[in-house]
Structure 1
Amino acid sequence: MAEERNLNAPLYEALLRYREKKDVSFHVPGHKNGRALRDEERTLEELARVMEIDVTEITGTDDLHHPEGVIREGQLLAAAQFGAEETFYLVGGSTAGNLALILSVCTALGDVLLVQRNVHKSVIHGLMLAGAHAVFLAPQQDAGSGLSTIPSEATVREALRRYPGAKGLLLTHPSYYGMGAPLRPLAELCHAHGVPLLVDEAHGAHFGQHPALPESALTAGADGVVQSTHKMLTALTMGAMLHVQGGLLDRALLRQRLAMLQSSSPSYPIMASLDLSRSLLGTHGPAFFEGGLAAAAHVRSGLAKLPRFGVVAPPGASGEAAAYTIQDPLKLVLFDAYAALSGYELQERLEAEGIVPEMSDDRYVVLALGPGTTMEDAERLLQALKRIAEAVEESGDSMGFNVNTVPIDPFSTWNIVDDEDRLSEVSEPVPFRLTPLHSAEIEAISIEESLGRQAAEMIIPYPPGIPLIYPGETITETLKQRLLMLRDSGAKCQGPADSQLRTIQVKKRKS
């Protein structure tokens, strides 16, 4: 009976029953089950169809903020599917989950939280909301690719020694590139010190759901895990889940924080897509990923015949010293092995071929595959790469040497590791606050003049949304050079007042 229930999608099915009854709506939302748009000539039938299940908290649809019926049942089924003791639906993406976790463990001004430095902007925003002090931990860096993973066990141990009153450790795993390293030793360290391990697993909702996929953060022992179910699984955009286990998190407080952060009018289509996404996993099991994994393997096999392009992969090393031992097989990180095309340029050429990547940086292009990726998609990608390679070679842009003989810049755009800080993997506490600087305290200067100044704005290359600079951070030579690179490459950044990055806002110097 329990196995049969796991195949259900209780909330989604309740909404279908609601749609089939065709009751007259005297409740919000105002589109009245899509009827307000059906007579409009410009209306798309598909949108109206979605609106038929876009309801509110009426009899039979339950209440996200006090679930007792189909939402509660769906969350219980999700907890069982993903290996949690308790699961919460999120309708504001992983952002809502990250904020809730931080506000649940940092409850007093000045509370210290150990934080991996290259985290999503939502973590920085959570620190600001909490008035917390962040102790930043340097991530490990893969020597071959220049990309970063989580902090080392030694770094976490030292941070816990220096700051025994820390409220927890927050990590991002896997990275936007699908890269990672073992979490289990870090969970054990945290638990030995009586603090929770919090993991932003936004890009790993599928982890642990197939033998070929990496271990999930929950299985590794994390206490609070946030997953973007919409990223690598099948939920609608903004659909995410927060999973909890163990006794180190105050769950009553966590519920209260979620009620503060999430809309009091949550989207039922989003919640239904979470319910249905979990149901698909329960129904199909590991077979749900076979097609996407086969497509990924086909691309990797095909790339072996295209020496122009390389794929980032773990070096094969294992043990504590290895920075990079885990790779999501559904994330392909491509680069021009002959260094003629930057990641930005390769993305442009792929898009001209009708192939739309997830993101690019100065060197790499990230392709996200999934359960919906077909062998036809994989072959189309390979043919596009073949044409791009031929076009580059015909133009004479090929530099004619293999990347293995080329010195690799150890700093990718998104890796927030400063070589001036390499002697200390653990920062001093950095205070965060919501109080804005007064305009009289700020000035805009050129990037070239910014060395040694304190930033007064956040610079966030997007995607992936990892702040390169946060307000109050001192601009080093390394950071200045990265800013110039971002400006010259035309990268999209959130946060700066000058979207062209000709200038940056900094704190005025005291006269």
Structure 2
Amino acid sequence: MEPFFSPILNALIKHAQNRPAGFHVPGHRYGQALQQDFQLKEPAAHPAVWFTSIMQLDVTELSSTDDLHHPEASILEAQQLAARTFGAEETFFLVGGSTSANIALLLTLCEPGEKIIVQRNVHKSVINGLKLSGAVAVFLSPQVGQRSGLATIPTVEQVGDALRLYPDAKAVLLSSPNYYGMGVRLKPYAELVHKSGIPLVVDEAHGAHYGFHPDLPQSSLADGVDAVVQSAHKTLPTLTMGAMLHVQGNRIDREILRQSLAMIQSSSPSFPILASIDISRAMIDSLGNRMFEQSIAAAASFRDWLRQQSTAIEEIEYDIMAMETDESTTHYTDPLRVVIYDSSSRLSGFELQRRLEQYGCFAEMADPRYVVLVFGIQASLEDNEKLQHAIEVINEECQSSAKASHKEDNAYAQMYISERTATVTAGISDPVSFSRERFNNQHVERINLTEAQLRISAEMVTPYPPGIAILNPGEIITSMNIEQIRLLSEAGAKFQGAADPTMQTIAVYHKKDENNV
């Protein structure tokens, strides 16, 4: 345990306490610009009430603050403290979320046309990084739970097979844990990849809290991974867009990485976001295990309550231990994430999420089958009671309405599992080029989705959340893809990357150009 100490916050407070006369950006001048009289539609919504305290700390790069892209003072000290706390050799603070780190890593690791082995079910930021770098991706299909239909990461054996097939690959990129809190220990993966002399990088966006309590999983940094990306804002008390990139070892050129981060991130980073990352680290150093005890207890209490109820709303039955895996690989689930669903199939995940919101409970995400609940720092008994009440009322409403099961949702639930199980047999993809020439290709047409089977997609189709692409440009569209997109759209999913938000149509390459894709 250490005294609370945040060098970035201290620097900002000291600067504000000096009552500076600001002749610099940003334009709000420490919030003074809001101190004006104007007509309000809602009296409680005066911006000065809500934003002045934040704006007092929202400054630019000054001699009394620091520069994120060339840190020498408070930011440098804060990053060094974070590296010590999280177990890295070097830590970079990010103001563009994990997205900025994923893109910067791909720009660092791959020149145009070079291969990288990538887990198939990655966040769209990885796909965008492939586009910007012009790399060639070899996709590995994930392991899939037979009952849940949820994907984790490829097997160690798959990674080994891919390395033998493509010995010129520059790196391996995996994503663990998934959005549902399911992951694996990565030591055997790191050892295998390192035998090929290349780095293993991991998108650990949902695991910034890992390793700081006996009930929490260990971070992949402890398994020897070369670069780990964490969204601090997801599970730590950090402002949205605050994230970290941890690096260790000598397999990644850190100077090129710094240059890549400078290209991707704003030249005017948010100091409140930077300070909030530092505050999270300082809280961990000061509180230790105690920081997470209440949230772990709240999630466990809710799980216990749910098991004792006779409602149709249940927690997912995790089945990751039943998947094929190397004996040295250990699976885990995040105790701060509770995944629920309607076992009677009356409600899809999207509908259950909407019903919860009607009673003031807002979930992290939903898909056609599940709802993901995240129990954050200091999750309260009052919030638990509100959630329990909502579930009780929703269950009673469903039973009294005698509503017939959603046939489409049931069909999707089966297809959802079948499609993901089928991807296991797909194994290792052929190399998929993400060259800029392909994305500048003008020979694209838009056709009805129902007519797109066996055509080559010219756009990325990404239901959000969780932001994992169903299709990437250059991939062949299967009948399963079409059915999955149709059912997701009918269930209310939102799509990013696709020009037609209704997903009635999809962009494909002209048949005469397909051989050049």
> What do residues 353-409 of structure 1 show as CA deviations (whole Å, max 9, x unaligned)?
11111111110001111113112111211111011111111111376xxxxx99962
Q: Which residue of 1 aligns with 2:21?
A: 24
Equivalent residues of 1:38, 1:45 under 8 A apart? no
Q: What is the number of residues matched between the two proteins?
A: 501
Q: Which residue of 2 aligns with 1:329?
A: 335
Q: Which residue of 2 aligns with 1:7?
A: 4
Q: Is 1:305 equivalent to 2:305 in the alignment?
A: no
CA separation in 2, counterparts of 1:471 and 1:149? 23
446 and 406 in structure 1: CA distance in 2 versus 1, 3 angstrom threshold: closer
Q: Which residue of 1 aligns with 2:105?
A: 101
Q: Is 1:397 equivalent to 2:400 in the alignment?
A: no
Q: Which residue of 1 aligns with 2:42?
A: none
CA separation in 2, counterparts of 1:33 and 1:71? 20
Moved more, 93-102 or 313-322: 313-322
> What do residues 223-251 of structure 1 show as CA deviations (whole Å, max 9, x unaligned)?
10110000111111110000001111111
Q: Is 1:214 equivalent to 2:211 in the alignment?
A: no
Structure 2 unaligned blocks of 5 or more = 39-45
The one-letter code sitting in structure 2 at the alignment partner of 1:39 is Q
Per-residue deviation at 1:340?
1.4
The one-letter code sitting in structure 2 at the alignment partner of 1:409 is Q
Q: Is 1:92 equivalent to 2:96 in the alignment?
A: yes
SS in structure 2 opposite 1:45?
Answer: helix
Q: Is 1:493 equivalent to 2:503 in the alignment?
A: no
Moved more, 311-320 or 384-393: 311-320
The one-letter code sitting in structure 2 at the alignment partner of 1:26 is F
Per-residue deviation at 1:101?
1.0
Per-residue deviation at 1:434?
2.7
Q: Is 1:285 equivalent to 2:294 in the alignment?
A: no
Partner residue of 2:143 out of 126, 140, 143: 140
Per-residue deviation at 1:284?
0.6
Equivalent residues of 2:153, 2:183 under 8 A apart? yes
Q: Is 1:115 equivalent to 2:124 in the alignment?
A: no
Percent identical across equivalent pairs?
47
> What do residues 389-439 of structure 1 show as CA deviations (whole Å, max 9, x unaligned)?
11111111376xxxxx99962635xx98583x6544111111002346568
Q: Which residue of 2 aligns with 1:162?
A: 165
SS in structure 2 opposite 1:235?
Answer: coil
> What do residues 39-97 of structure 1 show as CA deviations (whole Å, max 9, x unaligned)?
24443322011111111111121111111111000000100111101000001110110
Equivalent residues of 1:292, 1:370 under 8 A apart? yes
CA separation in 2, counterparts of 1:487 and 1:388? 24
Equivalent residues of 2:112, 2:134 under 8 A apart? yes
Partner residue of 1:388 out of 388, 391, 394: 394
SS in structure 2 opposite 1:202?
Answer: coil
Q: Which residue of 2 aligns with 1:63?
A: 67
TM-score, normalised relative to structure 1:
0.93
407 and 36 in structure 1: CA distance in 2 versus 1, 3 angstrom threshold: closer
The one-letter code sitting in structure 2 at the alignment partner of 1:177 is Y
484 and 315 in structure 1: CA distance in 2 versus 1, 3 angstrom threshold: closer
> What do residues 181-206 of structure 1 show as CA deviations (whole Å, max 9, x unaligned)?
22111111111211111011111100
Alignment RMSD: 2.3
Residues 29-428 of structure 1 correspond to what in structure 2 (within 5 A)? 29-41=26-38, 42-106=46-110, 108-307=111-310, 308-315=312-319, 317=321, 320=325, 325-397=331-403, 409=414, 411=416, 417=420, 419=422, 422-428=424-430
CA separation in 2, counterparts of 1:384 and 1:330? 19
CA separation in 2, counterparts of 1:46 and 1:25? 21
Equivalent residues of 2:79, 2:93 under 8 A apart? yes
